[in-house]
């Protein structure tokens, strides 16, 4: 197949449009008579709304609507917990909550109108301490409810296993909130179309889930809403179904009967977007003398903020997923999610895996030192194997974890650097290792984890692909183009993927759980094979030969015994149309994973494939200043089969950069319920001078359920970064930081504590 690009490094099919500025993001859309929307947010963590005076704002020339919670729909929205309104009603529960929305002829007028709105608040006590919330003390966020969600499970005999352990170690780790930091803030344009339907262009990771939320919150039938996924400039979990941007745009469009554009500036986006879920994890593990894990006990306290959103699902991942990368028999976990009067937390790249992998990998490294073992040996000894079933029922069809460990340690000269003599002076070097797993797909939303792809072959033999799986920069459109081009043996330039549009695209779940390559890739294969069947049937009727005598190559169908008798795809499409009872070639292919939803005991095979990664990091720690610098990194990603190595390396290195940010720099700070560093001037993200040249490798384990063996390659690589850095710091200076981020202040404090506890000089 000369035209196939599978396995070759190629630019993304929409890269040129982005580079030259032709790509149309939601904020770029301008419609006739379009208004501009702005939102007034609560300055208080918890308060009763006594009175809202909007008279002066309404009187401002150019203002077309001022909407409060009293005029907004009364149906609450949320993921599983329906507890949040488009605009706050009676009570605000976090500083930043949406209270009043304004639509005006210009953005400046809308902003001026916000200044004219007078709100009288009665301040109420705020619950800001998750530990107090867990104990049920202090003010409750929701009608006496402190607990948003709890998870508990017990496999095997944990106590008996601990009794048999050679070494038992227990420690507590804390992780913090990270802002997604995508390039494009949330943006939506909404209008009422000529038929009276709500039409929405928005930045989203799931067109159909976004439409469903609009329908529910705005109290409208699904079919009265048409949603387009505009070009999306990154999401990292933040643009799934937890922000109110498109809800407010839709509400204002309905109220004004005009097009309304709502684009967050960066300050607004910090307030509006869910950050990653802060968790405190207490981990107790027992090991045999050879490093085999015999028992594991986990307790998690997570803080979802004022509204649950996707946080229960995130905590579920923290509580369970890492168990499945090891051969475990005895595991116990209890996780509690509490409400506080703080900005909501939710989905973030890695979806709860980052939090637990920091604790688990740090713990393994610490126990390896206690056992006088190389942590690499512990990872290798406990790694689950291909064909095995995990403690929670996950069936491992493929795993390249051992290969990832070898690839990363070899690339970073692991054995030599671990034994290297310490540097003289204040700067110390150390290396750390971590391993992780992730899902490719996830049958937990409901009993379907599939995708549908529509494929139309035009009269010129080129293909149009319809899918509502989102491309947020990770390359979904390129992947679909590669699959269809490969199956039809046509150039990839002859395939066009239409952006998701709920009126014309088939139903899909969207970009989450690293599912798009495996589910949509398989669906595209099914659709392309159906298209080939239709083409072969057309050729069979045209030449009066059976379809088993036909083959396809180079964009043409030919007779196996008479290769000179052939027709291009375009010619066959035209023949298929222009006949009695003819029609165009337009097919749909659906693929649903053969997986099992978890039962009441949380046991089941949730994904068609599981991805693995390993990372080795070298750091330099300045013991005078406490500054930690990453000087070298190699992350190895088991993605099954790399459709596009260029894209996989981009995903791996981008994930590594985010992990460095979370581990060392980024920390969304909340003081008295208010975000204190909600802007890029104060919120420190890693820049080019703080990130070394990043290196990554690919392991192709070729999963039996994946399209051509492929599985996800967008999230796994973020998981091992933070613990690898923490372990490298511990190797460099002999002290372990349990609380992220690893700041200079924490390093210096730990070094001082180490010095204070060091034994004094011996005296004769």
Q: How far apart, in whole angstroms, are the C-alpha atoms of residue 340 and residue 344?
A: 9
CATH 3.90.1170.50 in the chain, residue ranges? 28-124+183-234+239-272
Q: What is the pLDDT of residues 519-528, one digit of tens each?
A: 999 999 999 9
For the chain, percent of residues with pLDDT exceeding 70: 98
Supply the CATH classification number for the domain 450-592. Answer: 3.30.365.10
- Does the structure show a pLDDT above 60 at 484? yes
Average pLDDT over residues 469-494: 96
The more confidently predicted of residues 271 and 760 is: 271
Q: How far apart, in whole angstroms, are the C-alpha atoms of residue 265 and residue 267?
A: 6
CATH 3.30.365.10 in the chain, residue ranges? 276-443+599-756, 450-592
pLDDT of residue 760: 43
pLDDT of residue 758: 65
pLDDT of residue 717: 96
pLDDT of residue 444: 86
Instruction: Give the count of alpha carbons within 13 A of 616, CB side only.
Output: 22
Helix/strand/coil for 716: helix
Average pLDDT over residues 203-213: 97
Per-residue burial over 279-296, b = 16 or more CB atoms within 10 Å of its CB, e = otherwise:
bbbbbbbbbeeebbbbbb
Average pLDDT over residues 218-246: 95
Give the confidence band of 420 by pLDDT, cuts at 50, 70, 90.
confident
Average pLDDT over residues 388-410: 98
| 279 in Cβ contact with 365 (< 8 Å) | no
CATH of 28-124+183-234+239-272, one of 3.90.1170.50, 3.30.460.80, 3.40.50.800, 3.40.190.10: 3.90.1170.50
pLDDT of residue 2: 56
CATH of 276-443+599-756, one of 3.30.390.30, 3.20.20.70, 3.40.50.620, 3.30.365.10: 3.30.365.10
- Does the structure show a pLDDT above 70 at 763? no
Q: What is the pLDDT of residues 449-467, one digit of tens each?
A: 999 999 999 999 999 999 9
Q: For residue 388, how far is the Cα from the chain centroid? A: 27
| 365 in Cβ contact with 432 (< 8 Å) | yes
- Does the structure show a pLDDT above 70 at 659? yes
Average pLDDT over residues 30-45: 98
pLDDT of residue 759: 56
């Amino acid at each position: 197949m000369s035209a196939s690009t599978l396995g070759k490094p190629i630019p993304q099919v929409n890269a040129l449009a982005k580079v030259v500025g032709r790509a149309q993001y939601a904020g770029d859309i301008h419609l006739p008579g379009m208004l501009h929307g702005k939102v007034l947010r609560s300055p208080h963590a918890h308060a009763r709304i006594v009175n809202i005076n909007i008279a002066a704002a309404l009187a401002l020339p150019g203002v077309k609507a001022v909407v409060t919670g009293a005029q907004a729909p009364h149906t609450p929205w949320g993921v599983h917990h329906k507890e949040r309104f488009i605009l706050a009603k009676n009570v605000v529960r976090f500083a930043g909550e949406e209270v009043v929305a304004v639509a005006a002829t210009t953005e400046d007028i809308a902003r001026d109108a916000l200044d004219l709105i007078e709100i009288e608040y009665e301040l109420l006590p705020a619950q800001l301490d998750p530990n107090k919330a867990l104990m049920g003390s202090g003010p409750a966020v929701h009608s006496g409810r402190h607990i948003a969600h709890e998870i508990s499970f017990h496999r095997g005999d944990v106590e008996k296993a601990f009794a048999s352990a050679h070494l038992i170690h227990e420690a507590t780790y804390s992780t913090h909130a990270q802002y997604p930091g995508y390039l494009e803030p949330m943006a939506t344009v909404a209008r009422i179309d000529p038929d009276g339907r709500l039409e929405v262009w928005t930045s989203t990771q799931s067109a159909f889930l976004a439409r469903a939320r609009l329908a529910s919150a705005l109290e409208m039938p699904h079919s009265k809403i048409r949603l387009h996924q505009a070009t999306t400039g990154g999401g990292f979990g933040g643009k799934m179904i937890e922000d109110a941007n498109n809800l407010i745009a839709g509400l204002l469009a309905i109220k004004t009967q005009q097009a309304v554009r709502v684009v967050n500036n960066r300050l607004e986006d910090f307030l509006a977007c869910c950050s990653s879920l802060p968790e405190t994890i207490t981990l107790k593990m027992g090991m045999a003398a050879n490093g085999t894990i015999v028992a594991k006990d986990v307790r998690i306290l997570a803080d979802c903020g004022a509204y649950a959103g996707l946080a229960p699902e995130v905590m579920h991942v923290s509580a369970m997923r890492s168990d499945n990368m090891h051969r475990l028999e005895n595991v116990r976990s209890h996780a509690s999610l509490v409400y506080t009067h703080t900005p909501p937390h939710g989905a973030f790249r890695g979806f709860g895996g980052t939090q637990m992998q920091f604790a688990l990998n740090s713990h393994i490294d610490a126990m390896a030192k206690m056992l006088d073992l190389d942590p690499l040996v512990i990872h290798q000894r406990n790694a689950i194997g291909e064909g095995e079933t995990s403690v929670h029922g996950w069936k491992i069809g493929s795993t390249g974890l051992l290969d990832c460990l070898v690839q990363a340690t070899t690339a970073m000269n692991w054995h030599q650097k671990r034994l290297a003599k310490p540097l003289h002076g204040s700067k110390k070097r150390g290396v750390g290792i971590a391993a992780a797993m992730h899902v490719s797909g996830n049958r937990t939303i409901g009993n379907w984890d599939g995708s549908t792809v529509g494929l139309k072959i035009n009269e010129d033999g080129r293909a149009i692909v319809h899918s509502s799986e989102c491309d947020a920069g990770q390359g979904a459109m390129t992947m679909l183009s590669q699959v269809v081009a490969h199956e039809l043996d046509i150039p990839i330039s002859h395939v066009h993927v239409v952006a998701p549009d709920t009126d014309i695209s088939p139903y899909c779940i969207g970009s989450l759980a690293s599912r798009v390559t495996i589910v949509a890739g398989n669906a595209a294969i099914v659709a392309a094979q159906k298209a080939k069947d239709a083409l072969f049937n057309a050729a069979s009727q045209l030449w009066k030969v059976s379809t088993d005598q036909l083959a396809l190559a180079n964009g043409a169908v030919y007779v196996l015994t008479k290769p000179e008798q052939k027709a291009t795809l375009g010619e066959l499409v035209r023949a298929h149309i222009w006949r009695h009872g003819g029609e165009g070639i337009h097919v749909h292919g659906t693929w649903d994973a053969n997986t099992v939803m978890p039962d009441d005991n949380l046991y089941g095979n949730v994904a068609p494939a599981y991805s693995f990664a390993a990372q080795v990091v070298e750091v330099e720690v300045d013991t005078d200043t406490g500054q930690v610098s990453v000087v070298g990194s190699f992350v190895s990603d088991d993605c099954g089969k790399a459709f596009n190595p260029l894209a996989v390396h981009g995903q791996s290195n981008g994930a590594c950069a985010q992990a460095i940010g979370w581990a060392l720099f980024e920390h969304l700070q909340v003081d008295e319920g208010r975000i204190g560093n909600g802007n890029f001037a104060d919120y420190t993200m890693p820049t080019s001078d703080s990130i070394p040249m990043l290196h990554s490798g690919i392991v192709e384990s070729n999963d039996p359920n994946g399209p051509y063996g492929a599985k996800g390659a967008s999230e796994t690589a973020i998981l091992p970064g933070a613990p690898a850095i923490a372990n490298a710091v511990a190797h460099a200076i002999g002290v372990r930081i349990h609380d992220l981020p690893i700041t200079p202040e924490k390093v210096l404090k730990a070094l001082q504590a180490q010095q204070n506890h060091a034994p004094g000089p011996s005296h004769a």
